[in-house]
């Protein structure tokens, strides 16, 4: 059994994205092109209430796969995502507002992350398979995350840059607090990592991760 990390819950079940038990998984077996997504892993997460002091442009609740801000996040204790679907599905708690989410990356982003974290390659078994995202998974957007030791993710929202990015780059978040477009996420990463050191986020590998709900219906 994989020991999981669970952040404290703080959001009502009324904020659940869309619940549907998942029992069977199938994959798009076509080899993705460079601009297509490949599966990186799974997390179990519930919507997170915007805490005091966070950029007011971030909606409340919002979705994050970052352990630093999530109200309810379940991942393996020493990794940022499950690589086994059955283990991730088993972490679902029907009494909570959490959902099973698939996390993906573009092939170039996956290659960069695996290179930057080559000494922790045990996190990347699914990425090396280069399989497409699970069939029926519903994309809800991209989150910008920084990867630290143990593939512990920190969201860009920790640095309060959303409003400045919206003004400078013209990017917009959706109702989940995510970016709709990978190009917008990539531009934001380039911009924020080039800020003066006193304003820039931590100098860790940053990536745009795609987040998708594991069911066959569109979220409400």
Q: Is residue 47 very low, low, confident or very high in pLDDT (cuts 50, 70, 90)?
A: confident
Residue 90 counted as domain residue: yes
Residue 53 lies in a domain: yes
Look at residues 133, 143, 94 and name the one whose alpha carbon lies nearest to residue 216: 133
Residue 220 lies in a domain: no
- Domain extent at residue 178: 4-213
Q: Report phi then psi at 48, rounded to 5.
A: -115, 130
Reported as type and span, the H/E element at residue 161 is none
pLDDT band at 122 (very low <50, low <70, confident <90, very high): very high
Q: Is residue 125 part of a domain?
A: yes
CA distance 131 to 144: 22
163 located within any domain: yes
Mean pLDDT of the chain: 83
The first and second tokens of residue 162, run together, are: 């959303």
The tally of domains found in the chain comes to 1
Q: Token pair of 26, please?
A: 């199938």
Residue 219 lies in a domain: no
Mean pLDDT value of segment 110-115: 95
Q: Does the CA dihedral 58-60-63-68 come out positive or negative?
A: positive
Q: Residue 218 falls within a domain, yes or no?
A: no
* DSSP letter, residue 9: P
Span 152-182, pLDDT tens digits:
898 999 999 999 999 999 999 999 999 999 9
What is the pLDDT at residue 70?
A: 86
- Stretch 25-54: mean pLDDT: 76
């Amino acid at each position: 059994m994989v020991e999981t990390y669970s952040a404290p819950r703080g959001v009502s079940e009324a904020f659940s994205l869309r619940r549907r038990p998942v029992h069977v998984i199938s994959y798009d077996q076509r080899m993705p092109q460079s601009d297509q997504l490949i599966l990186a892993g799974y997390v179990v997460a519930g919507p997170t209430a915007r805490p005091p002091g966070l950029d007011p442009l971030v909606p409340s609740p919002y979705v994050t796969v970052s352990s630093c801000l999530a109200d309810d996040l379940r991942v393996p204790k020493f990794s940022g995502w499950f690589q086994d679907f059955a283990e991730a599905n088993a972490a679902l708690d029907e009494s909570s507002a959490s959902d099973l989410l698939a996390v993906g990356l573009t092939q170039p982003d996956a290659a960069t992350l695996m290179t930057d974290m080559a000494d922790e390659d045990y996190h990347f078994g699914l990425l090396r398979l280069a399989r497409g995202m699970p069939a029926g998974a519903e994309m809800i957007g991209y989150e910008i995350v920084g990867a630290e030791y143990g593939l512990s993710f920190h969201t860009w929202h920790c640095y309060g840059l959303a409003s400045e990015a919206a003004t400078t780059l013209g990017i917009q978040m959706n109702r989940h607090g995510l970016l709709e477009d990978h190009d917008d996420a990539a531009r934001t990463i380039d911009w924020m990592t080039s800020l003066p050191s006193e304003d820039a986020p931590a100098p860790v590998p940053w990536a745009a991760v795609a987040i998708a709900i594991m069911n066959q219906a569109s979220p409400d």
